[in-house]
């Protein structure tokens, strides 16, 4: 057996296949097991070189790539990958400086998550990236790039919220929730989907995040016009047009 770790749980052949690249063996094993239990086929590698070898003969739906690894780091590996591949990449790092986040996104990564993180948050981000790509490839109509509600414009491609042209500061979790709701504007979105398949505690966290987001976009947060509660289900975002 090489240093690669492959999940053993039986899954459907069409289950999304993820490649986890991280030099921390314990984290590789934990993520492999957790993601496998949540419906993903998972292969794990310890270095960029090992991952490159796997990519040579296997197709993946998404890469989870650590930045700080021995040998070639995640930033450089992502840049090389982008020359010949558009496979989605979520980068993991213990570096929290905003400059590092920007560098990660400039390499072509689709998302960026700082360590330590909640596994359910990673699950939510994976779902967001795969869903967004699925929507981009759908033939049902043009891709939704932005939604407008009242004085606000939310750019899905940038995760950017503006009010009358001015940036509104939102947290990463608020951005994730707003992205899901905007992608399904007008639809009823269950709390568990917004929580990333979490339990009751995570669903309560969604309620807290939603209340905070309402205070930023609603004239009367107690009687929301846009971020509406769907009793017994979850939430929906009402947009203009």
Q: What is the pLDDT of residues 103-139, one digit of tens each?
A: 656 677 888 888 888 888 898 889 888 887 765 554 4
In a 13 Å sphere around the CA of 24, the CA atoms on its Cβ side amount to 15
| DSSP run (H or E) holding 236 | strand 234-237
Give me the residues of the chain with pLDDT under 70, please: 1-13, 95-106, 134-144, 196-203, 241
CA 178 – CA 176 distance, rounded (Å)? 6
CB atoms within 10 A of CB 118: 13
- So what's the pLDDT on residue 97? 57
Instruction: Confirm whether 141 is domain-assigned.
Output: no
pTM over 0.85: no
In angstroms, the Cα distances linking 162 to 12, 33, 63, 105, 158 are: 41, 39, 30, 20, 11
How high is the pLDDT of residue 5?
A: 45
Q: Identify the domain containing residue 73 by its residue range.
A: 5-136
Query: Residue 192 has what pLDDT?
Result: 80
Domain-ending residue, one of 136, 163, 186: 136
Task: Give 3-state DSSP helix, strand, coil % of the chain, rounded to 5.
Answer: 40, 20, 40
**Residue 162 to residue 115: CA distance in whole angstroms:** 28
Is residue 74 within 8 A of residue 56, CB to CB? The reply is no
Asked if residue 174 and residue 68 are part of one domain, the reply reads no
Q: What is the pLDDT of residue 240?
A: 86
Q: What is the CATH number of the domain that holds 155?
A: 1.10.10.10
- The residue out of 83, 104, 136 marking a domain boundary is 136
Q: Total structural domains in the chain? A: 2
């Amino acid at each position: 057996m090489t240093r690669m770790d492959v999940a053993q749980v039986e899954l459907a052949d069409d289950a999304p296949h993820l490649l986890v690249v991280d030099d921390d063996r314990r984290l590789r094993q934990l993520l492999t097991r957790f993601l496998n239990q949540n419906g993903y086929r998972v292969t794990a590698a310890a270095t960029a070189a090992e991952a490159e070898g796997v990519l040579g003969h296997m197709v993946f739906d998404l890469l989870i790539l650590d930045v700080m690894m021995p040998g070639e780091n995640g930033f450089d590996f992502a840049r090389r990958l982008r020359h010949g591949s558009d496979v989605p990449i979520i980068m993991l790092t213990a570096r929290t400086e905003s400059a590092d986040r920007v560098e990660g996104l400039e390499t072509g990564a689709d998302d960026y998550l700082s360590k330590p993180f909640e596994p359910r948050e990673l699950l939510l981000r994976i779902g967001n990236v795969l869903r967004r790509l699925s929507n981009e490839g759908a033939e049902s109509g043009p891709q939704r790039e932005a939604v407008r509600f009242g004085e606000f414009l939310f750019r899905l491609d940038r995760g950017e919220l503006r009010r009358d042209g001015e940036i509104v500061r939102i947290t990463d979790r608020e951005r994730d929730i707003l992205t899901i709701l905007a992608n399904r504007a007008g639809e009823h979105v269950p709390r568990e989907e917004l929580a990333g398949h979490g339990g009751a505690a995570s669903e309560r966290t969604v309620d807290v995040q939603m209340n905070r987001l309402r205070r930023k976009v609603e004239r009367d947060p107690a009687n929301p016009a846009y971020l509406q509660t769907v009793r017994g289900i979850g939430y929906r975002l009402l947009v203009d047009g």
